[in-house]
């Protein structure tokens, strides 16, 4: 059974806080079925990464990087475009000194 998006986002924010990072809900989408973007700011090297949820052909939920840039303005533009396409999207911003994303599902960095 899949969690509703609002519960999943709350759990992510809690995981970040318990892990010593900081997380903030930037945009609230549809509580039941909105997709999620996770923007991760690495405070050590000042890079930024963006993760989007996706589903493999076998139905497994994974995370991927929809934009290869590590520059915040580029990723913010991507987020703005994504919101125009999908108004139900959620955006969570994670700040961590080591750049951890705190996602528990598989992450494909490539």
Mean pLDDT by 10 residues, the chain (110 residues): 85 97 95 92 94 88 92 96 95 96 88
Provide the pLDDT for residue 33: 81
Model-level pTM?
Answer: 0.93
Starting at the earlier edge strand, list the strands of the sheet with 47-55.
Answer: 22-27, 90-96, 36-42, 47-55, 61-64, 107-108
Provide the pLDDT for residue 1: 44
How large is the C-alpha radius of gyration of the chain? 13
Domain that holds residue 84: 5-108
- Report the domain count for the chain: 1
Provide the pLDDT for residue 2: 72
Provide the pLDDT for residue 103: 96
Structure tokens belonging to residue 45 = 């090297």
Dist. CA 50–CA 72, nearest whole Å: 9
Provide the pLDDT for residue 110: 66
Question: Residue 32 is part of a domain; what is its CATH number?
Answer: 3.40.1530.20
């Amino acid at each position: 059974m899949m969690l509703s998006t609002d519960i999943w986002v709350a759990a992510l924010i809690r995981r970040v806080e318990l892990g010593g990072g900081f997380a903030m809900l930037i945009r609230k989408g549809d509580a039941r079925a909105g997709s999620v973007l996770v923007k991760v700011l690495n405070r050590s090297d000042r890079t930024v990464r963006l993760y989007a949820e996706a589903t493999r052909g076998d139905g497994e939920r994974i995370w991927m990087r929809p934009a290869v840039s590590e520059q915040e303005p580029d990723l913010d533009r991507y987020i703005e475009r994504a919101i125009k396409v999908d108004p139900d999207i959620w955006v969570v911003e994670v700040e961590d000194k080591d750049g951890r994303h705190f996602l528990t599902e598989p992450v494909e960095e490539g």
